[in-house]
A and B are shown apart, each in its own frame.
Chain A
Amino acid sequence: MDWQLDGLILARVQFAFTIAFHIIFPAFTIGTSAFVATLEGYALATGSERHRYLARYWTKVFAVSFAMGVVSGIVLSYQFGTNWSRYSEVVGNVIGPAIGYEVLTAFFLEAGFLGIMLFGWQRVPRSVHFAASILVALGTAISAFWILSANSWMQYPAGYEMKDGIAYPTDWWAIIINPTFPWRFAHMLTAAYITTALVVTAVGARFILRNRHLDDAHTMLRMGLGLLMVLAPLQLFIGDRHGLNTQEYQPAKIAAIEAHWPAEAVAPLILFAIPDMEAEENRYEIALPNLASLILTHEWNGTVTGLKAFAPVDRPPVGPVFYSFRIMVGLGLFMIALAYWGGYAWLRGRLFSADRFLFVAANSWPLGFIAILAGWMVTEIGRQPWVATGILRTSEAASPVLAAQVGASLALFVLVYAIIFAAGIFYMNRLLNKGPERGSATEHGVPHRPLSGAGGGRAEPSTQARV
């Protein structure tokens, strides 16, 4: 059935596109909301007006990013059904509740306090506003908890039994806290905070280089870089643990990451290669002997299970997994280097005049996003050919809809997302370049500014009518 095959590829491209687009925004808002809450907490504790203005400044950027995350996220909760109805039916009993709990514990929490966070600056006391920002930040992290729990279950299902081809739950604890979940969750959450730290650092560096908003820029640079110096190396440790966990539960993925073909052998660390799945070997390989064994088994001569230990139909596509992994790790190592380059300048008291460092930092803002996308490609393509490992193959999970429908909707998603992505990035960049605003409401010609999180104006609360 040809149409099914074509429809399948289109459905996969559509899901990959819509989820890759989506993840950029929550990854950023998880960190920005926590950053805003931190700034507000500091302002409350010390009475610092600068931190309060900075909190408002970052809230505007957060608002645009959050709106884009919300609308692109709604798509996903329906796409499981429109394009992947077999998947929804086979695993719905088991991982559906994770999505349900995500809505009940995270989305409502975020939505309930978002209005106050964006528009309540003059409406509620500062402490209540601070609490609202904390709750929104908490909501974003809880959302990550549930969605990573569901994803991890697909990677390595646990706590279920199969009856007539449908998965049934047997142990909720095992389903939610499944074996690959804790490290994956830690890895993703840390990645989200690192991504924001890089953006904050970049904005601080940008202003210092342009000699504008210097006090604010110094605060941002110190806070962003300080966080990066802690989290970037921590992420290396978490990533290592996550990798060892993957080796235990998803050895085929690790074999693809390392492009390691022999069924069981000492593994070199391959720096570059063009994996050839037909010939079951690598071309143009450049490798360091034994190093992958050392990383994966923490022993010089440890053996690693390779791709040939799995039937060809059970192997993930090697190339995309292999390259994405190298992009992710390369960027991660660069972030550590960047953090300590800045740290060294800081130690010598030259952080704000280290122009070369500032230039590199100012241009490093996209790296967190790229690393996150690369990491997700490793883990999701590495899960193939399964949509839920051992239970359902991706090729058997699609909906009975025409390829033309999937293709047309894909084209529309690409069109709409391209427009709003370009506009969103353009506006966020412009908001960031404007810098934190100060002064009285009249100075900025407020009163006719509409009500939006991205609006900068303020009016006195007394102008508000009361019921």
Chain B
Amino acid sequence: MEEWLPAIWIGLLGVAVTLYVLMDGFDLGLGILFPLARDRVERDQMMSSVAPFWDGNETWLVLGGGGLWVAFPKAYAIIMPALYIPVIVMLLALILRGVSFEFRVVSENRAWDFTFFFGSLVATFAQGLILGGLIQGVVVRDGAFAGGPFDWFNAFTLCCALGLIAGYGLLGVTWIMLKTEGPVRDRMRALAVPLLAAVMVFVALVSLWTPLTVSRIAERWFAWPNIGMLWPLPILTAGLAFLVLRAIWADGRFLPFFGTMGIFLFCFLGLAVSTWPFIVPPPGDGPGGVTVMEAASSPETQLFLLVGALALIPVNLAYTAFNYWTFRGRVRPGDTYH
């Protein structure tokens, strides 16, 4: 049992982070698209489509951060100082956009429309840098972060950040296609194909970049017998992208959104394949790195919270489903829930 606990926990944490990315991804993406709405009615319509959900979506981020601390304190204690600046910038940006939800309603001041957009964009950019900074690895000495304050900033992490902006943008567009109707939906739909193309370019770029620069990752993917088992993953991703493309052309409602989620999911699996068994990978082919096993908290700790997590996550998903069900249906121009 004890040797399985860290594996279960990294899986659970992966689920939490994935759910966060998928769910907050669409409302952050909607924020990035916000300036493209033409007038107050359209902005309010976009806002109404996410207002009952954003707080729940962001709770997965707290579970991700909290879960990393509880289950892998050594990794948490390395990753947070290593990615100090993007983490702080993300938090500040999330604050600005979070309060904008309420502030823009109680005041007529357009400044809060801007902070909603700006906060969403910066938070996404920072999350992309965090993702890239983690994939490229962290300098660790004696179990503590030993790199520089700007290690997370280079062409690769920038590429990840731009890719994430495109990805959240696509989630936002497809969410708007799912949840709204009228002119705003048509205008946003026109962006879906370019965004999908951008996402696939960035996915391909990151997927080639990592094995070309890190032989550990190249071996993982291309050495026999791995390649025999792993080749369907990129093929499935491309196939799904094609399905999403056709659904966008056909003006589908559900498939563009859930198909985009699927693309995100496959990318996540790909990253997991590249990174395992590290939770903090070493930089390039250098020494170091911290594995999932090494970073794990005590088995008692992992077990104690696991019991609660297995019992409560389904309950929490049920609340979430009930909430989405209560606010089902498309938001029309001028609609409110009041």
Contact = CB atoms under 8 A, between A and B. Distances in A.
Contacts of B274: none
A105 interface: yes
Interface string A395-412: 000011110110001001
Interface in B152-211: 181
B334 A99 contact: no
A3 B61 CA distance: 32
Contacts of A70: 55, 58, 98
Nearest to A428: B106
A97 interface: yes
A97 B305 CA distance: 6
A18 B335 CA distance: 37
A92 B76 contact: yes
A169 B70 CA distance: 12
Interface string A57-75: 0001001100110111111
Contacts of A101: 305, 308
Contacts of B101: 67, 452
Contacts of A67: 55, 98-99, 101-102
Given A96-B73, A119-B337, A108 B99 contact: no
Interface in B66-113: 66-71, 73-74, 76-81, 84-85, 87-88, 91-92, 94-96, 98-99, 101-107
B99 A420 contact: yes
A272 B329 CA distance: 64
Residue from B95, B101, B304, B326 with most neighbouring chain A CB atoms (10 Å): B95
Interface residues of B, number: 82
A112 B81 contact: no
Which of B47, B73, B101, B144 has most chain A Cβ within 10 Å?
A: B73
A87 B55 CA distance: 28
B225 to A, nearest CB: 38
Q: Provide the main secondary structure of the chain A interface.
A: helix
Nearest to A430: B106
A200 B59 CA distance: 29
B337 A120 contact: yes
Contacts of B149: 401-402, 404-405
Contacts of B69: 77, 80-81, 88, 92, 96, 99
Contacts of B315: 108
A464 interface: yes
B330 A465 contact: yes
Contacts of B316: 104, 108-109, 112
Interface in B286-333: 297-298, 300-301, 304-305, 308-309, 312-313, 315-316, 319-320, 322-323, 326-332
* Contact count band on A: 35 or more
A81 B79 contact: yes
B11 interface: no
Given A409-B88, A465-B329, A452 B308 contact: no
A118 B52 contact: yes
A457 B44 CA distance: 13
Main secondary structure on B side of the interface with A: helix
A93 B334 contact: no
B327 A412 contact: no
Interface in A73-93: 73-75, 77-78, 80-82, 85-86, 88-89, 92-93
Interface in B116-153: 144-146, 149
B91 A74 contact: yes
Contacts of A413: 92
B56 A111 contact: yes
B278 interface: no
A122 B335 CA distance: 13
B60 to A, nearest CB: 9
Which of A72, A74, A413, A457 gathers the greatest number of chain B CB atoms within 10 Å?
A: A74
A96 B47 contact: no
B30 to A, nearest CB: 13
Contacts of B336: 446-451, 455, 457-459
Contact of B61 (A74, A110, A124, A427): A74
Contacts of B78: 85
Given A74-B91, A447-B336, 8 more contacts: A78-B65, A81-B69, A108-B56, A114-B52, A450-B44, A450-B47, A450-B104, A464-B335
Interface of A: 60, 63-64, 67-68, 70-75, 77-78, 80-82, 85-86, 88-89, 92-94, 96-97, 99-105, 107-116, 118-124, 168-169, 172, 399-402, 404-405, 409, 412-413, 416, 420, 423-424, 427, 430-431, 441, 446-459, 463-467
Q: State the 5 A-B residue pairs at the shortest beta-carbon distance, nearest first.
A: A112-B319, A81-B80, A92-B73, A115-B52, A96-B70
10 contacts: A82-B87, A96-B305, A100-B309, A112-B320, A113-B323, A120-B326, A412-B88, A420-B95, A423-B99, A451-B336
